[in-house]
């Protein structure tokens, strides 16, 4: 008899950010009300992030909880999105996670020198797709940092559902975001 495995969500912040800013505390609380276990890690060295460190940090946290499985879900914001994608890309054959919600995800180098190391190699979209059941990309049509084309790339390469929210900027705390119902709804939808 297999015990019921709780759903586990990892909320991954972006560059120059921190775990409990913006809409992450709200999303954590909403998910916990529904019985989810929620991990909101502080990513290493957020002002000068290194892909190996960020992906390694997620790998360490996932492995502490028994390794990747279908009950593991990820919500990334901005640089948290390529971090999640690189983590999924690094999974071994046959390993798979339940889903990923990618909010204002950057998927191509955008001229910010501190972020270039995340984009030195092209994404292996086929491997990423095989390591995750479902993807949702949430983008705005007026994000000052991440053009909507990045969400369209995720839709094309990963068959991600693309949710476009008009005039929402970068969904960041500096823009006043303390809740993001679209992320909660997307996560619950792919976790059904």
Structure confidence at residue 3 (pLDDT):
54
Report, as an integer, the average pLDDT of 36-50: 97
CA dist., res. 188 & res. 161, Å (int):
13
List the structure tokens of 94. Answer: 């046959």
pLDDT of residue 29: 98
Output the pTM of the full model: 0.96
Q: How confident is the model at residue 5 (pLDDT cuts 50, 70, 90)?
A: confident
Query: What angle is formed at CA 123 by the lines to CA 120 and CA 127, rounded to 5 degrees?
Result: 145
pLDDT band at residue 4 using 50, 70 and 90 as cut-offs: low
Whole-angstrom distance, CA of residue 155 vs CA of residue 181: 20
Instruction: Give the confidence band of 110 by pLDDT, cuts at 50, 70, 90.
Output: confident
Instruction: Specify the pLDDT at position 134.
Output: 98
Rounded to 5°, angle at Cα 131 from 130 and 136: 90
Q: Are 40 and 76 in contact (CB under 8 A)?
A: no
Whether residue 105 is predicted with pLDDT greater than 70 in this model: the reply is yes
At 18-41, the pLDDT tens digits run 999 999 999 999 999 999 999 999
Tell me: pLDDT of 1 over 80. Answer: no
Element (H, E) at 79: none
Assess whether pLDDT exceeds 50 at residue 2.
no
pLDDT of residue 12 exceeding 90: yes
CATH fourth-level superfamily of 8-190: Alpha/Beta hydrolase fold, catalytic domain (3.40.50.1820)
- Report which secondary-structure segment, H or E, holds 154: helix 149-158
Per-residue pLDDT reduced to its tens digit, 125-138: 999 999 999 999 99
Tell me the CA distances in angstroms from 44 to 19, 56, 73, 84, 120, one per residue in order.
Answer: 11, 10, 20, 14, 19
CA gap 111, 7 in Å, rounded: 36
Domain boundaries, the chain: 8-190
Q: pLDDT value at position 76?
A: 98
């Amino acid at each position: 008899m297999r015990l019921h495995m709780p759903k586990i969500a990892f909320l991954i912040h972006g560059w120059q950010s921190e775990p409990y800013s913006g809409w992450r505390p709200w999303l954590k609380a909403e998910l916990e009300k529904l019985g989810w276990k929620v991990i909101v890690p502080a990513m290493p060295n957020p002002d000068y992030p290194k892909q190996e460190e960020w992906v390694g940090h997620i790998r360490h946290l996932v492995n502490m909880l028994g390794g990747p499985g279908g009950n593991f879900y990820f919500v990334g914001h901005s640089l948290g999105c390529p971090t999640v994608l690189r983590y999924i890309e690094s999974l071994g054959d046959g390993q798979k996670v339940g889903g990923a919600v990618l909010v204002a995800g950057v998927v191509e180098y955008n001229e910010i020198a501190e972020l270039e190391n995340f984009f030195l190699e092209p994404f292996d979209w086929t491997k990423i797709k095989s390591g995750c059941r479902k993807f949702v990309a949430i983008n705005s049509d007026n994000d000052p940092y991440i053009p909507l084309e990045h969400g369209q790339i995720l839709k094309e390469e990963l068959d991600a559902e693309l949710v476009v929210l008009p005039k929402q900027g970068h969904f960041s705390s500096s823009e006043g975001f303390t809740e993001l119902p679209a992320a909660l709804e997307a996560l619950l939808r792919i976790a059904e």
